[in-house]
Amino acid sequence: MNNFFVHYRPLPPGLKRFLLLVLTVLVTLIVVLGFWEPSLQNQYGPGRRQPVKELSGWLLDGPGGAQLLVPQPGQTTQGQTFNRVLLAGPGKTIPPPAVMDHVGDWVKVRGSLFSRGPLDVMNTRKATPMRPPLGTPEANVVGHSEGEFTLRGEIVDSKCFSGVMKPGSGKAHMGCAIRCISGGVPAVFHVRREDGSALDFVLIDDQNQTVNERVLPLVAQPLELKGEVIRFDNLLAIRANPESYQPLKP
Amino acid sequence: MSHQYVAVQWTRRKFIYDAILIGLMALYLLAFMQTSHWIADLRGIELETDGVAIRAYGSAAYILLHLTLAIGPLSRLHPWFHTLLFNRRHMGVMVFLLGAIHVSGWTLPSQPWIWFGMRTPKLPWAFYGSVAWYNNFGDLKPLVSLFTVNRHFGSLALFPFELLGVIGLIVLFVMAAISHDFWLANLTAPVWKAIHMSVYVGYAALVGHVLLGALQTNRNPWLAVLVLSGALALLTLHLLSGWREWRPDRADLAQPGQSWVDVGALQDIADGAAKVVMLSGERVAVFRRGGSVFALSNVCQHQNGPLGEGRIVNNCAVCPWHGYEYELDTGASPPPFHESVPTFPVQLREGRILISPVPMAAVQR
């Protein structure tokens, strides 16, 4: 009787200790969960969003989508002449005409650069054509075949995977990846090797064309691909028809 | 009580309740986001702050939903938990708000500026919610994308868990939208309560949303363990409180055709309190005040609270949930209020309480 509670009447003294105990339990629970839960979440990734940069190079449309070929000074580990930066537009789109109208030109572009391992992607709205510096090598548009391989991995969009989003892959990222790839962002096949390292391959068909619209139903799920791996400077591509992609059991 | 409609009938205790509630949620959000930054710094890797905020608000809503749903059975198991029950609706509304922020981010406050073509003020805590972050900025409207982007309904590993979250949020919205007593009075308590029972449909959808999200996305099994533990704890609490209700409900004291039913001795009831008995399928609250007894329907007209778990205050039976009052002899609320509950004829014979199972009409004022 003494502890009967009605909220518009004075609090019975016997209940104060109980409420303090409840509050202590709740604060402890909230603090424990608040500090513990982030470590359980898959919200970290090696991708990096770099400050806005200005880059100059050859602007090409392919393989797999628009890219900028930035000359590599000095000796490089792979002996490559260029570093290839994939290009995307604002949001989940292909670069706008103000960029794509200058395919084949030496251009200057400005934008946010996202990097994950050897994969670089730039978000840009405009390309300014320039005269190429003296002695600039020509772009290798054919690439170098590394042979036929069977790869297991998942299709991701190169842009968010490279730094906009964490983890940028897996089922939770399916919606975003499909929107990006549907919007023209280069589709990449992400392969995780047994030693924990990863390789990323730009997807092209046997005509060296982009496959974006054709792979949408297969994005962010385990797949097996058989095809020819081709190296374009630092960029790896796998040439295979999307009809031959084999879904694996998740 | 409800002689007029006001936005919220504030009392000092409601302010304290809400302040603690908001403080706890702010503490959780702060701890979650700051810890995320610390972990990223320790590992030397970058964090994506919109995703962190989406997870922080979503998990805050989910945790608070568990606390909200636990209070009901806890208060049936021990009356001290009524101190948490009386303002539980504000908890429910906050669960919806946290869930809505999880979905829409803090972009809604900028909408009025956008409508009038003005520059949007930059809020320091602004972020894109899950719908915009994962589905906007592309070649489809975000909501169209949300509902069409994943059609793997036949696969558990690829099932669009986002859609379960949509179901949960819709249920939470309905709860929050009709939480005010205006809707309670106009829909009537049974209808209002029946609608609010759909919170368990919403909860089931949200368990699926969070569990599938955890299993499909996270490699750490502890998240799934936490989700299942929460669901198991709630289920246990509800079964325990249900068992406690079910047992006395089975013991219907009235026989067919019986005009007076012996429900026990006067001295078995504490002065100022009540015992609840089952008569012809209806729970009756038998209150004792000194040497007198009064029998009222156990169902409070406000939210159908258990009137018999209340006490006598100022010659009125007071509901333990929200303090609704009913005069002992008439069952009517004191003026200017107009709720009333049916009463039952009572006799005292040699210390035994006899009650007629046929109720008298509720007094209308």
Per residue, the 3-state secondary structure of chain A, as one string, reads CCCCCCCCCCCCHHHHHHHHHHHHHHHHHHHHHHHHHHHHCCCEECCEEEEEEEEEEEEEECCCCEEEEEECCCCCCCCCCEEEEEEECCCCCCCCHHHHCCCCCEEEEEEEEEEECCEEEEEEEEEEECCCCCCCCCCCCCCEEEEEEEEEEEEEEHHHHHHHCCCCCCHHHHHHHHHHHHCCCCEEEEEECCCCCEEEEEEECCCCCECHHHHHHHCCCCEEEEEEEEEECCEEEEECCHHHCEECCC
Q: What percent of chain B is predicted at pLDDT more than 70?
A: 97
Q: How confident is the model at residue B115 (pLDDT cuts 50, 70, 90)?
A: confident
Q: What integer pLDDT is reported at residue B108 of this predicted model? A: 77
Q: How confident is the model at residue B256 (pLDDT cuts 50, 70, 90)?
A: confident
Interface contact B31-A163, CB threshold 8 A: no
B2 in reach of chain A (CB within 8 A)? no
In three-state form (DSSP H/G/I as H, E/B as E, the rest C), the secondary structure along B267-278 is HHCCCCCEEEEE
B323 in reach of chain A (CB within 8 A)? yes
Judge if A104 and A69 occupy the same domain. yes
Tell me how many domains chain A contains.
Answer: 2
Interface contact B79-A178, CB threshold 8 A: no
| Neighboring chain A residues of B217 at a CB cutoff of 8 Å | 42, 167, 170-172
Judge if A149 and A243 occupy the same domain. yes
ipTM score for this prediction = 0.92
Could you tell me whether strands B352-355 and B346-349 are parallel, antiparallel, or unpaired per DSSP bridges?
Answer: antiparallel
- Asked if residue A112 is part of any domain, the answer here is yes
Nearest residue, CB atoms, A37 vs list B59, B145, B323:
B59
Judge if A173 and A149 occupy the same domain. yes
Interface contact B84-A22, CB threshold 8 A: yes
- Asked if residue A3 is part of any domain, the answer here is no
Q: Work out the average pLDDT over B91-101.
A: 97
Residue A49's beta-bridge partner residues?
A: A114
Q: What integer pLDDT is reported at residue B255 of this predicted model? A: 84
Judge if A125 and A178 occupy the same domain. no
Interface contact A179-B140, CB threshold 8 A: yes
Judge if A162 and A99 occupy the same domain. no
Judge if A152 and A125 occupy the same domain. no
CB contact at 8 A, B167 and B198? no
Q: Work out the average pLDDT over B194-209.
A: 97
Residue B361, amino acid = A
Nearest Cα neighbor of B133 from B50, B21, B31 is B50
Judge if A125 and A148 occupy the same domain. no
B126 versus B58: the higher-pLDDT residue is B58
Q: Work out the average pLDDT over B342-363.
A: 92
pLDDT at A74 over 70: no
pLDDT at B2 over 60: no
Q: How confident is the model at residue A75 (pLDDT cuts 50, 70, 90)?
A: low
Interface contact A165-B80, CB threshold 8 A: no
- B314, burial (CB in 10 Å: exposed 0-12, middle 13-18, buried 19+): exposed
Q: What integer pLDDT is reported at residue B116 of this predicted model? A: 83
pLDDT tens per residue, range A19-40: 999 999 999 999 999 999 999 9
Nearest residue, CB atoms, B145 vs list A1, A5, A179:
A179
B81 versus B115: the higher-pLDDT residue is B81
Nearest residue, CB atoms, B28 vs list A33, A92, A167:
A33
Q: Which residue of A has its CA nearest to B138?
A: A92
C-alpha angle B39-B96-B235 in degrees, rounded to nearest 5: 85
CB contact at 8 A, B214 and B228? no
Interface contact B139-A182, CB threshold 8 A: yes
Interface contact B35-A35, CB threshold 8 A: yes
> A72 CA to chain B: closest CA distance, Å?
26
Judge if A85 and A121 occupy the same domain. yes
Q: Which residue of A has its CA nearest to B29?
A: A34
- Asked if residue A53 is part of any domain, the answer here is yes
Q: Work out the average pLDDT over A84-111.
A: 96
| Neighboring chain A residues of B272 at a CB cutoff of 8 Å | 1
| Neighboring chain B residues of A10 at a CB cutoff of 8 Å | none
Mean pLDDT of chain A: 93
For residue A237, the domain's CATH number is 2.40.50
Which of A129, A155, A174 lies at the terminal end of a domain, its last residue?
A129
B99 contact partners, CB below 8 Å, separation of at least 6: B57, B58, B61, B168, B169, B172
Q: How confident is the model at residue B121 (pLDDT cuts 50, 70, 90)?
A: confident
> B257 CA to chain A: closest CA distance, Å?
36
The C-alpha atoms of residue B223 and residue B45 are separated, in whole angstroms, by 22
| Neighboring chain A residues of B318 at a CB cutoff of 8 Å | 4, 6
pLDDT at B362 over 80: no
- Buried b or exposed e, range A17-33, using 16+ CB within 10 angstroms: ebbeebeeebeeebeeb
Judge if A105 and A172 occupy the same domain. no
Full residue range of the structural domain in which residue A173 is found: 144-247
Which of A129, A164, A192 lies at the terminal end of a domain, its last residue?
A129
Interface contact A30-B157, CB threshold 8 A: no
Interface test with B, best of A29, A50, A179 (most B CBs within 10 A): A179
- Asked if residue A168 is part of any domain, the answer here is yes
Interface test with B, best of A1, A5, A35 (most B CBs within 10 A): A5
Q: What percent of chain B is predicted at pLDDT more than 90?
A: 78
Judge if A120 and A164 occupy the same domain. no
Contacting B residues, span 21-80, partner chain A, CB-CB under 8 Å? 24, 27-32, 35-36, 39-40, 43, 45-48, 51-52, 55, 59, 63, 67, 79-80
| Neighboring chain B residues of A91 at a CB cutoff of 8 Å | 136-138
Judge if A176 and A231 occupy the same domain. yes
Range of weakest confidence among A135-139, A233-237, B162-166 = A135-139
pLDDT at A1 over 70: no
B158 in reach of chain A (CB within 8 A)? yes
Which of A129, A163, A184 lies at the terminal end of a domain, its last residue?
A129
Strand order in the sheet with B282-289: B274-279, B282-289, B292-297, B343-344
Nearest residue, CB atoms, A171 vs list B83, B139, B217:
B217
Q: Work out the average pLDDT over B50-65.
A: 97
Q: Work out the average pLDDT over B218-229.
A: 91
- Asked if residue A166 is part of any domain, the answer here is yes
Q: Work out the average pLDDT over B141-149.
A: 95
| Neighboring chain A residues of B150 at a CB cutoff of 8 Å | 174-175, 178
pLDDT tens per residue, range A90-101: 999 999 999 999
- Asked if residue A35 is part of any domain, the answer here is no
- Asked if residue A8 is part of any domain, the answer here is no
> A41 CA to chain B: closest CA distance, Å?
6
Judge if A236 and A182 occupy the same domain. yes
Q: How confident is the model at residue B7 (pLDDT cuts 50, 70, 90)?
A: low
Q: What integer pLDDT is reported at residue B1 of this predicted model? A: 54
- Asked if residue A154 is part of any domain, the answer here is yes
Q: Which residue of A has its CA nearest to B59?
A: A37
